[in-house]
Amino acid sequence: MEKLESIKDHAKKLKLNYLNTNADSIVENADINNISYQNLLLSILENEVDLREKKAQERRVKAAGFPVLKTIEEFDLTFQRSITQRQINSLIEMDWIDRMYNLILLGPPGVGKSHLCIALGYKAVEMGYKVSFTTMDNLMHCLKTQEISRKSKGKINNVLSSSLLIIDELGYLPISREEANLFFQLISALHEQTSLIITSNKGLEDWTELLGDPALTTAVLDRITYRCELFNMTGKSYRLEHRESLF
């Protein structure tokens, strides 16, 4: 028992959490099943790696800031026919992130834009990418207050160090000239450094009205669409078609 406690103590100091937590059962199982020293060590190390990867993924999910968790498997391709299974299969390989491509999802409310961008972001996290999710409104707030708010500064730093930034709901709320300039500066800073997924209820031809300056809009779109896949998602609102009623 003394040796077992020493093993746990050393494991704790070395941050071998699996061994620290499971030392008793590991030793007992090795005795019962006559496990070789090599297989015992291999099993311990494999479980340590699995545990660390699981915790790292949990940290990446938390840092991403998803409002809810959605998966690709939950996305109803029978309802939203503007995107195909073949396209989905290609997107979840995440080669487009490595190549610094952007995705723009356009369409009215309820057609699955937010579900799809969250699901792709979550899949990217599972594959080890650093992801940041934000609504356009929250992004503008953080950009404007980063000099006076530690929380906002932390969010922007997280955005700048991400492999993938998801900006949801661009165009739902009006933005000022100052905000449009801040948005342009951010897009310029991220250009060919970070992949983007942007969802919007407005077509690209309406972004000039949104950003308030034709030259600035051209500059923003030039950077976003340089390497970009555009999806026009049409159809009825999934939420309205599948709404739940009390009666």
Token representation of residue 207: 């972004």
Antiparallel, parallel or unpaired: β 102-106 and 228-232: parallel
Query: Residue 203 belongs to a domain with what CATH number?
Result: 3.40.50.300
- What is the C-alpha to C-alpha distance for residues 99 and 203, in angstroms, rounded to an integer? 25
Residues 125 and 151 in one domain: yes
Residues 30 and 120 in one domain: no
Q: Span 227-245, mean pLDDT?
A: 73
Largest CA distance in the chain: 75
- What is the C-alpha to C-alpha distance for residues 58 and 54, in angstroms, rounded to an integer? 6
What's the pLDDT at 110? 87
Q: Span 58-87, mean pLDDT?
A: 93
Q: Is the pLDDT of residue 61 over 90?
A: yes
Q: Span 187-193, mean pLDDT?
A: 96
Antiparallel, parallel or unpaired: β 131-135 and 164-170: parallel
- What is the C-alpha to C-alpha distance for residues 76 and 67, in angstroms, rounded to an integer? 20
Confidence of residue 27 (pLDDT cuts 50, 70, 90): confident
Residues 152 and 92 in one domain: yes
User: Could you tell me if 117 and 197 are in contact, meaning their C-beta atoms sit under 8 angstroms apart?
Assistant: yes
Query: Is the residue at 128 inside a domain?
Result: yes
Query: Is the residue at 67 inside a domain?
Result: no
Contacts of 137 (CB under 8 A, 6+ apart): 169, 172, 173
* Cα 101–Cα 88–Cα 128 angle in degrees, nearest 5: 60
What's the pLDDT at 81? 86
Query: Is the residue at 245 inside a domain?
Result: no
What's the pLDDT at 173? 87
Report the run of H or E that residue 20 belongs to, with start and end: helix 17-33
Read out DSSP for 169-235?
EETSS---HHHHHHHHHHHHHHTTTSEEEEEESS-GGGHHHHHS-HHHHHHHHHHHSSSEEEEE--S
Domain that includes residue 182, residue range? 72-240
Residues 169 and 200 in one domain: yes
Question: What integer best gives the mean pLDDT of the chain?
Answer: 92
What's the pLDDT at 11? 87
Residues 33 and 81 in one domain: no
User: Could you tell me if 35 and 64 are in contact, meaning their C-beta atoms sit under 8 angstroms apart?
Assistant: no
Q: Is the pLDDT of residue 7 over 90?
A: no
What's the pLDDT at 235? 67
Q: Span 43-58, mean pLDDT?
A: 94
Residues 44 and 135 in one domain: no
- Going from the C-alpha of 133 to that of each of 60, 137, 177, 196, 204, the distances in angstroms are 11, 12, 23, 10, 21
Residues 132 and 179 in one domain: yes
Residues 222 and 173 in one domain: yes
Query: Is the residue at 247 inside a domain?
Result: no
Q: What is the pLDDT of residues 157-184, one digit of tens each?
A: 999 999 999 999 999 888 999 999 999 9
Residues 55 and 95 in one domain: no
Residues 173 and 235 in one domain: yes
Residues 94 and 49 in one domain: no
Domain boundary among the residues 60, 90, 109 is at 60
Q: What is the pLDDT of residues 199-233, one digit of tens each?
A: 999 999 999 999 999 999 999 999 999 999 999 99
What's the pLDDT at 166? 98
Residues 39 and 125 in one domain: no
Q: What is the pLDDT of residues 122-161, one digit of tens each?
A: 999 999 999 999 999 999 999 999 999 999 999 999 999 9
What's the pLDDT at 28? 87
Burial (Cβ within 10 Å: 0-12, 13-18, ≥19) of residue 97: buried
Q: Span 50-74, mean pLDDT?
A: 95
The model carries a pTM of 0.89
% residues pLDDT > 70 (the chain): 94
Regarding predicted confidence, which is higher, 200 or 236?
Answer: 200
Query: Is the residue at 66 inside a domain?
Result: no
What's the pLDDT at 83? 93
Contacts of 178 (CB under 8 A, 6+ apart): 144
